[in-house]
Amino acid sequence: MTTLQRTVGAEVTRVEGREKVTGAALYAYEYPVPDALYAWAVQSTVPRGTVRAVDTVAALSLPGVVAVLDSRNVTRLRPTDTPELAVLQSPEVAYRGQIVAAVVADTFETARQAAAAVRVEYDVDDHDAELMDGDPRIFVPETVNGGYPGHAETGDVEAALAAAPVVLDATYTTPPEHTATMEPHATIAVWDGDTLTLYNGDQAPWMTAARVAELFGLPEGAVRIVADHTGGGFGSKAIPRPPTVLAALAARAVGRPVKVAATRQQMFTMVSYRTPTLQRIRLGAERDGRLTAIWHDALQQSSTLTPYCEQTVTCTRVMYAARHRRTTHRLAQLDVPTPSWMRAPGEAPGMFALESAMDELAVALGMDPIDLRVANEPSVDPGTGHPFSSRNLVACLREGAARFGWAGRDPAPGRRREGEWLLGTGVAACNYPALTWPSTANARVEPGGGFTVRIAAADMGTGARTALTQVAADELGVEIDRVTLDIGRSAYGQAPWAGGSMGLSSWGWAVSKACRALTKRLDEVSGAIPPGGLEERADTAEDVEARRAFSRHAYGAQFAEVRVDAVTGQVRVDRLLGMFAAGRVINPRTAGSQLRGGMCMGLSMALHENLEPDPRFGDFANHDLATYHIAASADVRDVQAHWLEETDDELNPMGSKGIGELGIVGTAAAIANAVYHATGVRVRDLPITVERVRAGPPAGPSAGLSAGPSAR
Amino acid sequence: MKPFGYERATDPQAAATLVADSTGAVYLAGGTNLVDLMKLGVTEPALLVDITGLPYDSVEHRPDGGVLIGALVPGSRLAGDPGIRERFPALAEALLSGASGQLRTVATTGGNLLQRTRCVYFQDVTKPCNKRRPETGCSAVQGLHRDLAVLGTSDFCVAGHPSDMAVALAALDAVVHLRRVKGSARTVPLNGFYLLPGDTPHRETVLQPGDLITGVELPPPPEGAAMSYRKVRDRWSYAFALVSVAAVVATEADGTLREIRLGLGGVGARPWRAREAERLLTGRQPTEERLREAARAEFASARPLPQNAFKIDLAVDVITAAVRDLVGGQRR
C-alpha cells in the first residue's frame, strides 16, 4: 500500500468538473420529469393596489392552456414570516412585478403567450417607492439581518467628535444591485399525494424543504428538494423565492408536474436585490491617527411586506478601536420589491463606506492609509468586547503591501501619468464573520470498502462538494477516490445553507464528525464490515453550542492599481491583489477561485452594477443584462488572491473560516481609493461612472480631470 | 411572444413577395435584436421571412478603393476583412467595439443598420413609449435617460441609435443599397436613411414596405486620410456607447484640414454626422481651441436632460482628442 496523501490543503480539482464541462450535470429545470406542464407568471403592472378582476377568457381560449390561476383558485398557504412567498394568496398588490396570476399550459411558449393575454384590472392606490432621507416613516429596527442590534452606542460620540482635532464627515451611497445569477430561478414541482418534490436551484436544500412544508402545512419531510447543481445563488437562492412557490401551487392546482423558469427580466423583481444604501460616516481622530470617535449611519429600504434590514454598519463595530462609537441602521419600508441577501450583504456596502472614509482620513492626516489602519488595531472586538479567535488584519496589510509593491508610494493624487492615462493605487481592509451553524451528516461504508457521505449541502459553483470530499477522505484515512460525497438533497437531513460563508465550516464539521464516528466503528469491528454496511450519523448542534464566546472573523487587505483615461474619465483596473487570513484553506484551487471571484464581484460593484429605481413605476427601469452591467472579461485583468497561514483552534475541527464573501468586501473601496490617488477625484457614490469621475474636483479639461493634456 | 410563421426565402423576389403579400411580415437575418424584441412583446410579426440564403454576403472591393458590403455580411467577417482593416480601419474598430464576439458572428450589416433603440422603456411593454405605441407618452424624459440622445431628439422621444457600425458608416459617407418590392434598385445615403423622431418617433427610416437592404457601399476614403473610432462606455466590452466618435481626417502639408468628417454615436437620435463641426474646421488649422469650439458648436442645438448632459462635455473632449491624435499621427 502506498503512503496515504492527506488531501486537505491540496489543490484537488473539482469532483464534478467533468460532469459540468460536458453538460452532463443537471440543473433544476433540466430534470427529465415526464408529463410536465409549464407555468408562466403574470406580474403586477401597478406598484400598489388591489386586483379587481382577472379576465382569463382570451388566455383560456388558446389551445394547450390548462389553467389560469389567481388568488381565487389556488391552495391556501399557511401564514408566513416571509410574506413575499404568500404567492396568489390575496388580491392585494404590494409591489410592481408581484405575481398576480399565472398560466399553466402544455408548452413553455403557449404559457408565455397566454400569460400576455391575461387581462388584469386593478384598483390602484397611491404609492411611494422613493427612498428619501428625512421621510418621517424611517425607523431604527431593533435587530437587523443576522440578529445584530439595529443600533449600538458606546461613550459620547458627539462630544468626542467636537473635541477631535481632525474630523472626517462624508456621505457615501451604493445603488440597489441584483444577484443576476447565471442560472435563473427555476423549479420543477412534482406532487405525489401529499408529498412534494421540488427540483430547485437552491443554496439550502434542507432549509427550503422545511420552509415550503411549513407554507403548505405539510409535515417535516413531506417536501423534498433536489438541487444537485445550482448555477449561482449569491443569496438569492438561500430561501425559496416566489417562482418556486408558484411551481408548487400550480402543480397542486392542475395535478401534474409543473415547470417554472423566471426570465432574466422577471428575475429583477421576482427575486432578491441588494438595498440601496445612504451612509454617513463621521470619524474623529488625534493628529497621530488614533481614532477617538466612529459614527456610521446607514439608511436603507425594504418593502411594505417585510422589514428586511441589511447589517450594513456591523463591520464598523468590529474593525477599529475608538472609545466613542455609534452605529445605526435606519429603514424605510416602501412600495417596492423586497430586498434580500446579495453577495456579502451588509459588509460589501458598509465596508465601501468605512474604508473610503479611512482613506479620506489618511489623506486629511497626511498619513499612509496602511499605517492609519495599523494605528487603530483593537486588542479585543470593539463592539462586543470578546477576544478575537484570530485576527491577522495587520499581517495582511503588511504582507499584501510587500507583494503589491506599496512601499515608497507617493500619496499625492493626480501625479502619475502614462500617456493619456492617470495612474493610482489604493488599499482597503476587509472582514467577514466566520460563521458556523449546526449541521448533520451521514457517513457510510459498504462491504466492498466504498465510502458514501451524505449531507444536505449545496454547491453553487463554489467547490463545496470537492472540499467536503477532501475533509471526509482525510477523516476516514482513505484516498479521495474511495469517497462519494452526495449533497443537494433535503432528504440527507438538517444542514444550513450555502450562505453567510458558513457552508464549509458548518457542513465540514458534521462530515468530519460522522466520518470520525464511522472510523471508530470500523476499528471496533476490526474492519470486518457486515453485509449491510456500516453507517454513522453526526449532529454538531451541541458542539457548535459549546463553543466559547469569541469574535470570529476572517480578515484581509485589498490592493488596487487603476488607470483613468484623462480625456474621458474611464477607469480601468489593471491589478487587484488580495491578501487574506481565513483560517485553514481546505482546497487552494477552489479557494483561490472563490476569492478571486469575490474580488471580481467587488470590481463589478465598484464600476458597473447599478439598478435604476424608477419611483414613478415602482420597479427598476433597467432589467436585463444589457442595461444592468456586470464586469465583463475585458474589465478583469490581473487579479491575485493570496492568504496567510492562519491557525485558529476556536472555529471548527478544520480550523476554517468562510471565504465565499470575504473577497467581495473592501474591493470597491480599494478601487475608489485608487481612483482618488490617480485623479484627485473622490467618488463617494457607486458605481464609479465616467460622469462621476469627470464631475469631481479639481476641474479638468471640460469637466473634471486634473492634468488632462487638453486642460483649458 | 405570439406564434409566428417562418419562411425561408430562396431568392430576392420570393422574399419581397412574401413580405409584400402578408400583413405583419418582416425580414429575418441574424435576428439578434428582432428575436429579443419578439420575446419581450415589443414587436409581434406574423411572419418572418428568413433572407440568410440570399446572395448578399460578400465584400467586394473596387479598383477605385471603394467597397460594396453585402447586407448579410456578419460583423465579425467585415471587421476581419483585410481591405476593410487597411482602408477603412474606423469601420473595423467600430464593429469590434460593439456587442460581443458571439453576436458579431451572427448579426449582419443590414440588420445592424436597423437595430432598435435600447431605451429601457421602449423594451418594456408595461410602460408608455411613443416609439413603441404612438401617443402613449415618453417615459424616458422624466425617467431613466442617461444612455439616451441629446441631438435630434424631440419632446416625443429621446431615444438614441445604438449602432457603433453605423456611426463609422456615417463618417465614411456610406450609401445604402435597397431592392424595392418590384425588384428595382435604389440607393440612399446613410446620412439620409434615418428619420428624426419629431412627433412620429415610430417612423425610423426611409424604408418603404417590402424594401430590402442589399448592401452598403463605401466610396474611397479621402486621399491620405487617417481615421479612427473611439468609444467611451461603461465597461471595456459589451456595452453601448456613452459617446463615440468616428473621425476621418485628411490634412494639407501645412497641417490645415483639407477634409474632416465626424460621426458621433451615443449622442444622437440617429448616427450623427457632425456637419457643423466639420464646416467650422475644414480648411483650418486644427488647434486645440478651434477643435474644442467646433465640437461645442455641434451641440448648440442639443437638448440635454439631467442624466445625460454630461455627454456634451464628454463628446467635446473625445472629438478634440480623436482629431488631435489623428493629425498628430497617433493612433490609440
Q: Where are the alpha helices (DSSP H) in A366-499?
A: 369-375, 393-404, 464-476
Residues A118 and A216 in one domain: yes
Question: B61-88: per-residue pLDDT in tens?
Answer: 999 999 999 999 999 999 999 999 999 9
Asked, for residue A323, whether it belongs to a domain, the answer is no
- Asked whether this chain's domains B5-50 and B226-327 adopt the same fold, the reply is no
Q: Over the stretch A67-117, which tens digit does the pLDDT of each residue have?
A: 999 999 999 999 999 999 999 999 999 999 999 999 999 999 999 999 999
> Hey, what amino acid is at B190?
L
Mark yes or no for CB contact A694/B123 under 8 Å: no
pLDDT for position A209: 98
In a domain, A112, yes or no: yes
Mean pLDDT of A241-249: 98
The boundaries of the domain holding residue A481 are 17-26+437-545
Neighbours of A394 (CB within 10 A): 16
Task: Give A121 to chain B, closest Cα distance, Å.
Answer: 13
Are both A665 and A581 inside the same structural domain? yes
Out of 3.30.70, 3.30.43, 1.10.3470, 3.30.519, select the CATH number for domain B5-50.
Answer: 3.30.43
Q: Would you list the DSSP string of A221-272?
A: TSEEEE-S--S--TTTTSS--HHHHHHHHHHHHHTS-EEEE--HHHHHHHS-
Tell me if A616 sits within 8 A of A573, measured CB to CB.
Answer: no
Tell me chain A's radius of gyration from C-alpha atoms.
26
A505 and A629 share one domain: no
Q: Which residues of A make CB contacts under 8 Å with B?
A: 45, 109, 112-113, 116, 263, 265, 420, 567-570, 572, 607-608, 612, 614, 616-617, 621-624, 626-627, 629, 631-635, 689-691, 694-695, 701-703, 708-710, 712
pLDDT at residue A109, as a whole number: 95
**Which of B126, B233, B317 minimises the CB distance to A710?**
B317
Quote the strand ranges of A317-469, DSSP E.
Answer: 324-334, 388-390, 416-418, 421-433, 440-445, 451-454
Whether A694 shows a pLDDT value over 50: the answer reads yes
**In terms of CA atoms, which chain B residue is nearest residue A115?**
B1
Say how many residues make up chain A: 712
Residue whose cell numbers read 466503528? A521
List of chain B residues whose C-beta atoms are within 8 Å of the C-beta of residue A690: 232, 234, 242, 310, 314
Report d(CA A605, CA A630) in Å as an integer. 8
The alpha carbon dihedral of A51, A56, A57, A62 has a sign of positive
Give the model's pLDDT for residue B21.
85
Residue type, B185: A
DSSP three-state, residue B207: coil
Report the C-alpha gap between A694 and A711 in whole angstroms: 13
A368 in any annotated domain: no
Edge-to-edge strand list for the sheet holding A92-93? A92-93, A49-55, A119-124
- Other CB atoms within 10 Å distance of the CB of residue B219: 14
Same domain, residue pair A559 and A672: yes
Phi and psi at A238, nearest 5°, equal: -75, -25
Q: Indicate if the alpha-carbon torsion angle A137, A139, A142, A143 is positive or negative.
A: positive
Q: Per CATH, the architecture of B226-327 is what?
A: 2-Layer Sandwich (3.30)
**Total count of residues recorded for chain B:** 332
pLDDT band for A4, please (50, 70, 90 cuts): low
Within a domain: residue A712? no
Q: Mean of the pLDDT values across residues A635-646? A: 97
Q: Check B120 against A621: CB less than 8 A apart.
A: yes
- Within 8 A of B237 by CB-CB distance, chain A residues are 632-635
Give pLDDT, residue B41.
95
A526 domain-assigned: yes
Q: Tens digit of pLDDT for each residue in A29-68?
A: 999 999 999 999 999 999 999 999 999 999 999 999 999 9
Catalytic residue among A11, A347, A661, A691: A661
State percent of chain A over pLDDT 70.
97
For B193-231, how does the pLDDT look when each residue is reduced to its tens digit (9 = 90+)? 999 999 999 999 999 999 999 999 999 999 999 999 999
Kind plus residue range of the DSSP H or E element containing B220: none
- Check if A661 is active-site: yes
A212: helix, strand or coil = helix
Domain presence at residue A652: yes
Quick one: A474 and A403 in the same domain?
Answer: no
**How distant is the Cα of A23 from the closest Cα of chain B, in angstroms?**
20
Q: Check: CB of residue B319 under 8 Å from CB of residue B247.
A: yes
Per the CB < 8 A criterion, the answer to whether B111 and B70 are in contact is: no
Asked if residue A328 is part of any domain, the answer here is: no
To the nearest whole Å, the CA of B237 is away from the closest chain A CA by 6
Residue A626 has its nearest CB partner, among B118, B124, B320, at: B118
Alpha-carbon A254 to chain mean position: 35
Q: How many CB pairs under 8 A join A and B?
A: 104
> Are A623 and A529 in the same domain?
no
Average pLDDT on A522-526 reads 95
- CATH code at A259? 3.90.1170.50
Domain boundaries, chain B: 5-50, 226-327
Q: Where are the beta strands (DSSP E) in chain B?
A: 5-8, 25-28, 47-50, 59-61, 67-70, 175-179, 185-189, 212-218, 226-232, 243-251, 257-265, 272-273
Q: What's residue A709's pLDDT?
A: 32
Is A420 within 8 Å of B121 when comparing Cβ atoms?
A: no
How many distinct structural domains can be found in chain A? Answer: 3
CB–CB of B141/B183 below 8 Å? no
Cβ contact, residue pair B144, A703, below 8 Å = no
Cell numbers linked to B108: 449582419
Q: How far is A45 from chain B (nearest CA, A)?
A: 6
Pick from A616, A621, A691: CB nearest B310: A691
Measured between alpha carbons, how far is residue B36 from residues A103, B43, B118 in Å?
A: 22, 9, 11
DSSP symbols for A124-185: EPP------TT-TT-B--SB-GGG-BSEEEES-HHHHHHH-SEEEEEEEEE--EE---SSPP
Q: How far is CA B100 from the centre of its chain?
A: 17
For residues A31 and A19, what is the distance between their CA atoms, to the nearest angstrom? 15
Q: What is the pLDDT of residues A308-318, one digit of tens each?
A: 999 999 999 99
pLDDT at B167: 98
Q: Are residues A510 and A591 in the same domain?
A: no
Measure the CA–CA gap between B289 and A56, rounded to whole angstroms.
65
Same domain assignment for residues A423 and A509 = no
Is residue A642, in this structure, part of any structural domain at all?
yes
Distance separating alpha carbons of residues A131 and A336, to the nearest angstrom: 10
> Where among A520, A545, A570 does a domain terminate?
A545
Q: What angle do CA A443, A448, A452 make, to 5 degrees?
A: 20
Are B314 and A635 a contacting pair at CB < 8 A? no
Residue A219 burial (CB < 10 Å; 0-12/13-18/19+)? exposed
> Alpha-carbon distance A538 to A668, whole Å?
41
Residue A670 has pLDDT above 70, yes or no: yes
Q: Are A42 and A99 in contact (CB under 8 A)?
A: yes
B-chain residues near A113 (CB < 8 A): 1-3
Chain centroid, CA A83 distance in Å? 21
Q: Given this model, what pLDDT does residue A696 score?
A: 76
Burial pattern B155-169, b for ≥16 Cβ within 10 A else e, equals ebbbbbbbbbbbbbb
User: Do residues A570 and A534 both lie within one domain?
Assistant: no
Which chain A residue's Cα is nearest to B99? A626
Q: With contact defined as beta carbons under 8 Å apart, do A667 and A576 qualify?
A: yes
In tens, the pLDDT along A353-395 reads 999 999 999 999 999 999 999 999 999 999 999 999 999 999 9
For residue A44, give the chain B residue with the closest CA.
Answer: B126
Look at residue A163 in the predicted model and tell me its pLDDT.
Answer: 98
CATH assignment of the domain containing A658 = 3.30.365.10
C-alpha cell at A280: 454617513
| Radius of gyration, alpha carbons of chain B | 20
Number of Cβ within a 10 Å radius of residue A35: 7
> Smallest Cβ distance to A617: which of B127, B236, B310?
B127
Residue A1 has pLDDT above 70, yes or no: no
Q: Let me know whether A470 and A553 are in one domain.
A: no
- The minimal CB distance from B314 to the residues A116, A263, A568 is found for A568
H/E element, B110: helix B109-113
Task: Report the percentage of chain B scoring pLDDT > 70.
Answer: 99
Q: State the pTM of this model.
A: 0.97
Q: In the prediction, which pLDDT does A281 show?
A: 98
A493 and A594 together in one domain: no
**pLDDT for A289-302, tens place per residue?**
999 999 999 999 99
Question: Which residue is listed with cell 457615501?
Answer: A172
Is A112 in contact with B1 (Cβ distance < 8 A)? yes
Residues A74 and A92 in one domain: yes
Residue A687 has pLDDT above 70, yes or no: yes
Can you give the pLDDT at residue A5?
A: 67
Closest Cα in chain A to B44:
A113
Is A646 a residue whose pLDDT tops 70?
yes
pLDDT band at B330 (very low <50, low <70, confident <90, very high): low
CB-CB under 8 Å, B321 with A567 = yes
Q: Do A690 and B232 touch (CB under 8 A)?
A: yes
What's the distance, CA B39 to chain centroid? 23
Q: Chain A: give the shortest CA distance to residue B310, in Å.
A: 6
Contact A561, A574 (CB under 8 A): yes
Residues of B in contact with A265 (CB under 8 A): 40
Distance CA B272, CA A118 (A): 42
How far is C-alpha A115 from the geometric centre of its chain's CA atoms? 32
Domain boundary, last residue among A545, A563, A595: A545
Which among A486, A515, A545 is the end of a domain? A545
CA–CA min distance B232, chain A (Å): 7
Q: Are residues A703 and B321, on separate chains, in Cβ contact within 8 Å?
A: no
Q: Which residue, chain included where needed, has cell 421540488? A: A198
